[in-house]
């Protein structure tokens, strides 16, 4: 199987786009980033695409009276680039049910929480308010429901006592940049499939979870870790 032609849809700075561009530089990576689409003309991710010599276009949602017309313009760009797979990387527009149906199981999204927890915005603030011990990110197949769809890869990070939302955001972002290239590779190679119970990886079912190195260090420094009580 050749490298799968992939488009990345962005709205902002594009750090996850950069992670995908960096991964795709390896000749044995199974996906090639063929197009970057931004709905915002000022998105810095467009500059990242230019530096990587990847074609980039702006499809400004404000220029369209209806979402259907906006999505049709995006799909025309995908068609011209002969795109097979799509990655949403900080793309701040909700795709219609019709778009999701046409591209079913070919669109990935990354979200900064361990879905199904904390769908939507302000994920880090909400995690800190609830006092959770771990947080993380999720790469999932896109469905019409917000931040829903079968989970492909999750990355787990610790929540530390002195965390604020910005510290936690940066820690989660570290694993986002590892999870997204892994998820796209799994999808592009055809190793994974969406079954009735979620995503199935028949070859290596335990490989999709990514743990933050700090979790291992915290466990190693805990005298009670691994000991049964009593």
Q: Could you tell me if 132 and 78 are in contact, meaning their C-beta atoms sit under 8 angstroms apart?
A: no
Q: Is 140 designated active site?
A: no
Q: Are residues 58 and 129 in the same domain?
A: no
Q: Are residues 42 and 148 in the same domain?
A: no
Residue 1 pLDDT level (bands cut at 50, 70, 90) = low
Within a domain: residue 103? no
Q: Are residues 88 and 150 in the same domain?
A: no
The percent of residues in the chain predicted with pLDDT above 70, rounded, is 95
Task: Indicate which residue of 111, 124, 177, 212 is catalytic.
Answer: 111
Q: Are residues 210 and 142 in the same domain?
A: yes
Work out how many domains the chain is built from and give that number: 2
Q: Are residues 147 and 69 in the same domain?
A: no
Tell me the backbone φ, ψ of residue 188, rounded to 5 degrees: -70, -30
- Residue that wins the pLDDT comparison between 196 and 139: 139
Task: Count Cβ atoms below 10 Å from residue 49 Cβ, excluding itself.
Answer: 24
- Angstrom distance (rounded) from CA 91 to CA 38: 8
The pLDDT value given to residue 95: 97
Contacts of 151 (CB under 8 A, 6+ apart): 115, 138, 139, 140, 198, 199
* Cis peptide upstream of residue 81 (ω within 30 degrees of 0): no
What's the CATH code of the domain at 47? 3.40.50.170
Within a domain: residue 101? no
Q: Can you give the residue range of the structural domain that contains 86?
A: 1-93
Section 57-77 average pLDDT: 97
């Amino acid at each position: 199987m050749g490298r799968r032609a992939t488009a990345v849809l962005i709205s902002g700075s594009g750090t996850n786009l950069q992670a995908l561009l960096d991964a795709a530089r390896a000749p044995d990576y199974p996906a090639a980033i063929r197009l970057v689409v931004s709905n915002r003309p000022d998105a810095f991710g467009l500059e990242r695409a230019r530096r990587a010599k990847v074609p980039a276009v702006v499809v400004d949602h404000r220029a369209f009276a209806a979402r259907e017309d906006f999505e049709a313009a995006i799909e025309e760009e995908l068609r011209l680039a002969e795109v097979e797979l799509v990655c949403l990387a900080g793309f701040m527009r909700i795709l219609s049910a019709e778009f999701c149906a046409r591209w079913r199981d070919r669109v990935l999204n990354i979200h900064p929480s361990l879905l199904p927890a904390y769908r939507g915005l302000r994920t880090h603030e909400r995690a800190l308010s609830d006092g959770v011990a771990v947080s993380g990110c999720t790469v999932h197949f896109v469905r019409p429901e917000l931040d829903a769809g079968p989970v492909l890869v999750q990355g787990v990070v610790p929540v530390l006592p002195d965390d604020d939302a910005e510290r936690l955001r940066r820690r989660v972002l570290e694993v986002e940049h590892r999870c997204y290239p892994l998820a796209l590779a799994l999808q592009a190679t055809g190793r994974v499939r969406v079954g009735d119970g979620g995503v199935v990886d028949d070859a290596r079912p335990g490989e999709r979870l990514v743990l933050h190195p700090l979790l291992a260090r915290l466990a190693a420094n805990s005298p009670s870790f691994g000991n049964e009580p009593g």
